[in-house]
Amino acid sequence: MKLFLLLATCAVAATGKKVQDPTRMLLTNESTAYPGAPQRPRPWWNSLESTEGRIVGGFEVDIKDVPYQVSLRSFGSHICGGSIISKRWILTAAHCASSADRPKETIRVGSSEKGSGGQILKLKRIVQHPQYDGSIIDYDFSLLELAEELELDDSHTTIALPEQDEPVTDGAICRVSGWGNTQSSSQSTKFLRATDVPSVNQDKCSEAYSDFGGVTPRMICAGYQEGGKDACQGDSGGPLVSGGKIVGVVSWGYGCAVAGYPGVYSRVASVRDWIKEVSDV
C-alpha cells in the first residue's frame, strides 16, 4: 500500500546502507538507525502508527469507472490494491505479496466497497519479480494467478498494458485509485477513491529523492509540485493509469501528497517482457 509509516533502515545515504521492508510508505527523517539519517519507509504491517492514509485530494468513484481495480485481501481484510490484466492474472506490488504456490490471500473484484459486494476469488499462486529488491523498493511487482478464470463484465474487466519500455510523456495526466485507512488507523475508507496527477520528469523526481537514494529506471513518478493529491496507505499495488494503459503500480514515497515529493510507482513498461513470460498476457 502506498503506505504511511515509520521508517525502517537507511536508504542509500552517507553510510551506504539501504533500507529494508518497502511499501507506499511514509518517509521521515526520524531514523531508527542513527539521528537524521534519511530513510525509506517500512511496510504498513510493520507500522507503529499511521495518519491520513487514503487517496489524498481525491474523490469517490464507482467501480465501473475503474473496473480493473481489485482489492487484495488477507484474513478477510484489505491489504493492497491490484489490477486485472487478464481473466487469469492480477498485477500488484511485490511488497504486497510474496511468491507462494498455495497462497492464503484472496481477491475482491467488482465492488466499489472495500468490505462487501462483488466476488471473492481464490489465488492459485503468486509470482514475485525475481529481481525484487526490498531494500531499495526496486522491481516492486508481483503477478497473482487466479484459481479460476474470471468472467469479465462492466464491473470487473482488464486494463491494457504498455509495450516494453514504452515511455510516458512528462506531464501526462494519470489516474490512481484505491482504498486506504482514514485519519484513524482503526477505521478505513468504505468506498473506492481516485485522484488525477501528472507524471513527473524522471530526473526531477530522482533529484527530489536524492537524499533517499533517488529513483531507478523501474520507477515512475507522478504528482504536483505543490502536493495535495497522491496515493497513500492502503493503496499500494494499485494502478496508475494513463491513456487507457496501466503505466504504474503504487509503490512508495515521502509521506502522502507532500509538496516537492511526488508519489513513486513501479514502472510497468520496464517489466512488460517479464509479465508476458509469466502470464502469456
| Complete DSSP assignment for 148-167 | S----BTTB---B-PPTT--
Residue 180 cell numbers, joined: 486506504
Of 140, 177, 188, 279, which one is the catalytic site residue? 140
Strands annotated E in 53-192: 59-60, 69-74, 77-84, 89-92, 106-109, 119-128, 142-146, 173-178
* Cβ atoms 255, 50 nearer than 8 A: no
Q: Is 95 a catalytic residue?
A: yes
- Those residues whose C-beta lies under 8 Å from the C-beta of residue 82, and which sit 6 or more positions away, are 69, 70, 71, 72, 90, 91, 92, 96, 107, 144, 237, 238
Of 47, 236, 251, 270, which one is the catalytic site residue? 236
Q: Is 140 a catalytic residue?
A: yes
Residue 241 parent element (H or E): strand 239-242
Of 95, 112, 142, 230, which one is the catalytic site residue? 95
The amino acid sitting at 184 is S
Active site residues: 95, 140, 236
